[in-house]
């Protein structure tokens, strides 16, 4: 199987911060907004170098979304920054009317997504955001898997005209995708070719899927691993091509199974190529306090859970 | 400067447009529209500096954001009669496949509209963002916005009001349509607004009243004063005292016509009170 090396654990939010520093230097239209979480979003270097292009909104996320929409009128490219929970659930109607329906070129950049936010607990761990955002007509939804990919995605969305939801996380995780990779919105990445099962993963679950695939290889199972960093628009050709070969699929995401990546895949398969599918996702539940690793274990979001799901789905072929 | 009589003729014609638009589809919001007719006519034909034509970015011209999007009839009529789109298109208001949606939207590409509004309380934030973009672009033009008084019950406004003064957004003139009415009754009955001047001032805004908000000369004078107060470190709030349903005697001083269309007979009566000036669409 294709070997992936962890170049050193890092957090995806730092990938966002690094890209913002770069955008600050290369794209004078880019402006950053933040609702009192500069440190968490890692954007201090952008602020230091571009104080006029930074808007500290305070703890007022609804206002932030509206101001971002307004800033596009005049040609700016606003990147909003706060936790995923406060980037979506708290401000759904503001995003819906002032950004999505109004077709504004706002980049909603959301850190601390999912259960791996950890100790702060369920009030801060949103597991519904992908669903909310993908339901908005015209909204692009991206969930990169590591530092390098988050950086590349952040640079790419600045070049894309239209509203984008970019979701990333808090914990330091394996950084295994290439430095300076080209990020193509809506293009799935084949990480490992296999013939027995397709594992389609997004975000932090991509690395877990690669570990699972390695373990499965030892059992003689050749798992194909696809990194779907863009949940909407979905690269359905990549999905169909793979499942036509393997005949079964496991989807893996740090999100509720209702509304997430798994459902998007299931919709494609149900209409175009019905295929047995298992869902690695939270089971319609809130999270709780704990370390990221403990929570991933308890809520069935790690490589062991993926491995089990693979064995199960292969029996259903 | 357009003669006040010319503006008055336009006001009367816009009133006819509003009444005929909502009557035709038996829906829409005539009360607030009629109450703000003088203001929006004055804004688009005298107060604001506007370029010819329409582009979304609106650089080097004044911008207007309608936050209380339900008064779309007056907005559409004034835009059409200012030349943003054909006046005949007013006849498509709220019909299927129209650019004139029930509430304003950019989605159908109607020239003159820069943001969707309707879900209340969002327009001030948008106006602030546009005002900040103007500053970044070294564009000295102003941003105007209009909000219902009842709309201020939405909390996002107060986030925006706090932000605007804290960040010296002094190229913004936000006008509050102070008609004292909302869907369920008077604002005093539904949720008392208290002393809005004191509230805005406490939040660090420069506030002025236009006591006769349905009097063109008072509006022109008041908005001139408002303009003169921009660029001085504070956002400017205009408290525009209006009469809901102004210009149609049986629609005035009540919330009853907030979102209700007149019958055939009522339309006839209302139009008789507002004879044709520039010609119906």
C-alpha distance from A103 to closest chain B C-alpha (Å): 7
Identify whether B183 is part of a domain: yes
d(CA A195, CA A244): 10
**Cα dist from A41 to A18, A36, A46, A112, B193, whole Å:** 10, 10, 11, 9, 38
Q: Is residue B130 included in any domain, yes or no? A: yes
> B47-83: per-residue pLDDT in tens?
999 999 999 999 999 999 999 999 999 999 999 999 9
| Residue B277 in domain | no
- B150 is in which domain, residue-wise? 4-272
- A74 and B114: CB-CB below 8 Å? no
The answer to whether residues B167 and A107 touch, using CB atoms and an 8 Å cutoff, is no
Q: How far, in Å, CA of B263 to CA of A196, rounded? A: 70
Main-chain dihedrals φ then ψ at residue A38, nearest 5 degrees:
-60, -45
Per-residue pLDDT reduced to its tens digit, A143-175 = 999 999 999 999 999 999 999 999 999 999 999
Q: Is the peptide bond before A7 cis (omega within 30 degrees of 0)?
A: no
Residues of B in contact with A57 (CB under 8 A): 163
Could A70 and B139 be called an inter-chain contact, meaning their C-beta atoms sit closer than 8 Å? no
Say yes or no for a CB contact (<8 Å) between B163 and A67: yes
To the question of pTM greater than 0.95 for the whole model, the response is yes
**What domain count does chain B have?**
1
* Pair of tokens at residue B91: 């006849």
In a domain, B280, yes or no: no
Query: Does the active-site annotation cover A61?
Result: yes
In a domain, B281, yes or no: no
Per-residue pLDDT of A251-265, as tens digits, reads 999 999 999 999 999
Please check whether residue B107 lies inside any domain of the structure: yes
Answer whether A74 sits within 8 Å of B162, measured CB to CB: no
Assess contact for B175 and B238: CB atoms under 8 A.
Answer: yes
- How far is it, in rounded angstroms, from Cα A13 to Cα A171? 9
Give per-10-residue mean pLDDT for chain B (281 aa). 88 98 97 98 98 97 98 98 98 98 96 98 98 98 98 98 98 98 94 96 98 98 98 98 98 93 98 98 96
CA distance B180 to chain A (A): 25
Give the SS3 label for residue A178. coil
Looking up residue B203, the CATH number of its domain turns out to be 3.40.50.970
Q: Tell whether B278 is covered by a domain.
A: no
Interface of A with B in 170-189 (CB under 8 A): none
Nearest to A71 among B118, B129, B156 (CB): B129
Q: What are phi and psi of A224, to 5 degrees?
A: -90, 135
Instruction: Tell me whether residue B233 is in a domain.
Output: yes
B123 → chain A, closest CA residue: A66
């Amino acid at each position: 199987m294709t070997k992936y090396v962890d170049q050193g654990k890092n957090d995806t939010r730092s990938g966002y911060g690094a890209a913002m520093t770069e955008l600050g230097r290369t794209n004078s239209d880019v402006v950053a907004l933040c609702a009192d979480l500069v440190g968490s979003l890692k954007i201090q270097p952008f602020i230091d170098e571009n104080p006029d292009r930074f808007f500290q909104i305070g703890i007022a996320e609804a206002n932030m979304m509206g101001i971002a929409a307004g800033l596009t009128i005049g040609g700016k490219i606003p990147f909003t920054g706060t936790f995923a929970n406060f980037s979506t659930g708290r401000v759904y109607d503001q995003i819906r009317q002032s950004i999505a329906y109004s077709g504004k070129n706002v980049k909603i950049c959301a850190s601390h997504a999912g259960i791996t936010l950890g100790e702060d607990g369920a009030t801060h761990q949103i597991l519904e955001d992908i669903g909310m955002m993908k339901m908005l007509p015209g909204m692009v939804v991206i969930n990169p898997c590591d530092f390098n990919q988050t950086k590349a995605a952040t640079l790419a969305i600045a070049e894309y005209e239209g509203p984008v939801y970019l979701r990333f996380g808090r914990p330091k995780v394996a950084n295994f995708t290439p430095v300076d990779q080209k990020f193509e919105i809506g293009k799935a990445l084949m990480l490992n070719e296999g013939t027995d099962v397709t594992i389609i993963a997004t975000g932090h679950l991509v690395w877990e899927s690669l570990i699972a695939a390695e373990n499965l290889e030892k059992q003689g199972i050749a798992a194909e691993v696809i990194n779907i960093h863009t949940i909407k628009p979905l690269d359905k050709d990549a999905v169909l091509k793979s499942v036509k070969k393997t005949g079964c699929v496991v989807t893996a995401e740090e999100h509720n199974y209702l509304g997430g990546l798994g459902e998007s895949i299931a919709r494609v398969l149900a209409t175009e190529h019905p295929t047995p599918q298992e869902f690695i996702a939270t089971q319609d539940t809130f999270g709780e306090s704990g370390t990221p690793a403990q929570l991933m274990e308890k809520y069935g979001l790690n490589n062991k859970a993926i491995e089990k799901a693979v064995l199960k789905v292969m029996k259903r072929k | 400067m357009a003669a006040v009589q010319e503006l008055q003729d336009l006001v009367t014609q816009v009133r006819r447009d509003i009444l005929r638009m909502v009557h035709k589809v038996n829906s829409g919001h005539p009360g607030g529209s009629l109450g703000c007719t003088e203001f929006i006519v004055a804004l688009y034909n005298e107060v604001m500096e506007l370029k010819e034509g329409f582009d979304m970015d609106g650089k080097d011209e004044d911008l207007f954001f309608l936050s209380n999007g339900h008064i779309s009839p007056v907005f559409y009529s004034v835009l059409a009669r200012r030349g943003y789109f054909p006046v005949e298109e007013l006849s498509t208001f709220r019909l299927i496949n129209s650019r004139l949606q029930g509430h304003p939207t950019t989605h159908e590409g109607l020239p003159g509209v820069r943001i969707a509004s309707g879900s209340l309380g969002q327009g001030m934030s948008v106006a602030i963002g546009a005002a900040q973009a103007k500053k970044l672009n070294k564009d000295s033009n102003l941003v105007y916005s209009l909000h219902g008084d009842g709309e201020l019950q939405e909390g996002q406004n107060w986030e925006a009001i706090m932000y605007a003064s804290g960040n010296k957004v002094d190229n913004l003139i936000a006008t509050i349509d102070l008609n004292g009415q909302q869907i369920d009754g008077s604002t005093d009955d539904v949720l008392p607004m208290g002393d809005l001047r004191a509230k805005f001032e406490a939040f660090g805004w420069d506030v002025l009243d236009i006591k006769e908000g349905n009097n063109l000369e008072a509006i022109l004078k008041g908005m001139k004063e408002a303009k003169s107060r921009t660029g001085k470190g504070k956002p400017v709030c205009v408290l525009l005292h209006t009469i809901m349903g102004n210009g149609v005697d049986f629609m005035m001083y009540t919330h009853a016509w907030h979102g209700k269309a007149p019958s055939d007979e009522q339309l006839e009566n209302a139009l008789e009170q507002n004879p044709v000036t520039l010609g119906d669409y």
